[in-house]
Structure 1
């Protein structure tokens, strides 16, 4: 009985450690970021030989680099996380992990991630480092300054697309810059919806991520900015076709997706509220992977 009890305790402790580690590195967010990088890599690869080994290296390098940035973010914000409902149970906020342990994890993750990215070329390693540093040490402190943090944070948030293209092409190209720009503008309505929905919680920690007026969120300005970003996505969606990397029907599909995204942004601007914000947020989750996948599938029709 004592042996079984000890075994269950060990299993429970191990399970909790894994759960805490997943929360620390923000596993789902990191996986989403890596997906955009891999899809961009596949789009940029073109007629190049496809290798699952390179996909694995890009996935692992991107995940470790993103994880390191997320861990550093949580170390810097652990005191603020305790004040917000949605983050108060994070392992650092509750003290289940120490800051020194987290920094050790971030250090090894960053070294491993940048090293793996460097196996492609210097550009991927450089862009990975820029993404890590700008997210952890520029975006994170700016969150308590004002909404400019969202624009600044969208840069490291969009760099995975550029990293994926650089891994395939070995340099910064128009395609890489195009996919980077698409991911940059996609993030704005995406986060504006999240910022609107979580405004009160963010305010508890002193985060100023959305425009305010008279002590509450300025939904009119937020809606206007979401619409502007969605409008920009419509013509951007066609650029990969003109660069010759995808088919016209694939570009047309992404233009259509951008139009639907614009519809949700317009609905939020016309009637800001939980329902319209949720609609814009949930569609944003689907937009980017669908868009990049469409470009890749459309490319196969050109190559074949």
Structure 2
């Protein structure tokens, strides 16, 4: 019995830390940043990769902690979020604020060590997410458009960390992840529509799970695929993709598009959930293909 008593609080503290920083989301953001770094780096510096991973995690963790402080009362209304550390009463707002502030300062310092531009984009990301996107979520479906900006920064951030430069290449990486946000978040908004409604969140473009929303999801899926294939044309500077990799990404995109059309046809929560998973698979595999394509070309 005594072992259980000693062990449980530490598990609880770690679980709350995972929840307040949204660890899984933060790790996926770090993955995007590191992929962008590998694409931009002429010589891979693993110290920089480590700093980028730490700085990226700190910035995302800070954004999520601030978000949960602001939305604590709304989180208490939704099944999905009522057991988060703050609404459940396991963590005070002050503790969460200390975590968020510490993470912001440390994150900016770590990213600044890489280079000032990386820190600047990290700061822009936190500001947009916390100060503009979060308050807009209960006001207008345009919040998804605003949220797509900080959401699209990580892939691009890695390139900037590698080169200390913002140009056509990181701009293209930004656009890929920017357009991808729409089918991804609208799929989540559709899937969890009833729960979001309890919290007063407006996530879908028409405000409803209707034909108009489904059509927009299809259109933005198409845009995502088209933007993802631009590097095949050789017009994006050092960011280039071989036609073979382009074909692989096209097939991945058609897979995501299939689930978007399936949602249009069925218009149910289960189809939206499948599209959400398809969109996550798409962006993850796309980043892996981009990186492998670059390194295989260099080895050959």
Output the TM-score relative to the length of structure 2. Answer: 0.94
Whether 1:103 aligns to 2:97 is yes
Q: What is the root-mean-square deviation of aligned Cα atoms in Å? A: 1.4
Aligned length: 295
Whether 1:31 aligns to 2:27 is yes
Whether 1:21 aligns to 2:12 is no
Distance in 2, matches of 1:19 and 1:254, equals: 36
Q: Which residue of 1 aligns with 2:137?
A: 143
Q: Which residue of 1 aligns with 2:212?
A: 221
Gaps of 5+ in 1: none
Q: Which residue of 2 aligns with 1:208?
A: 202
Question: What is the CA distance between 1:275 and its match in structure 2?
Answer: 3.1
Contact 1:197 1:277 in 2 (8 A): yes
Question: What is the CA distance between 1:302 and its match in structure 2?
Answer: 2.0
Whether 1:236 aligns to 2:230 is no
Mean Cα displacement is larger for which, 227-236 or 16-25? Answer: 227-236
One of 257, 264, 268 as aligned partner of 2:259: 264
Question: What is the DSSP-based 3-state SS (H/G/I as helix, E as strand, rest coil) of the residue aligned with 1:119?
Answer: helix
Question: What is the DSSP-based 3-state SS (H/G/I as helix, E as strand, rest coil) of the residue aligned with 1:62?
Answer: helix
Output the TM-score relative to the length of structure 1. Answer: 0.93
Whether 1:197 aligns to 2:176 is no
One of 294, 299, 304 as aligned partner of 2:294: 299
One of 50, 67, 76 as aligned partner of 2:61: 67
Distance in 2, matches of 1:218 and 1:210, equals: 7
Q: Deviations over 1:59-115 (max 9, x none)?
A: 000000000000000000001000000100001011110000100001110111111
Gaps of 5+ in 2: none
- Would you identify which runs of 4 or more consecutive aligned residues in structure 1 move more than 3 Å? none
Counterparts of residues 251-290 of structure 1 (less than 5 Å)? 251-290=246-285
Distance in 2, matches of 1:178 and 1:266, equals: 26
Question: What is the CA distance between 1:257 and its match in structure 2?
Answer: 1.4
Question: What is the CA distance between 1:19 and its match in structure 2?
Answer: 0.6
Question: What is the DSSP-based 3-state SS (H/G/I as helix, E as strand, rest coil) of the residue aligned with 1:91?
Answer: coil
Q: Deviations over 1:14-40 (max 9, x none)?
A: 111111111111111111111111111
Distance in 2, matches of 1:9 and 1:121, equals: 46
Contact 1:247 1:295 in 2 (8 A): no
Contact 1:247 1:301 in 2 (8 A): no
Mean Cα displacement is larger for which, 8-17 or 133-142? Answer: 8-17
Question: What is the DSSP-based 3-state SS (H/G/I as helix, E as strand, rest coil) of the residue aligned with 1:49?
Answer: coil
Contact 1:43 1:292 in 2 (8 A): no
Q: Which residue of 2 aligns with 1:50?
A: 44
Distance in 1, matches of 2:111 and 2:217, equals: 33
Contact 1:249 1:298 in 2 (8 A): no
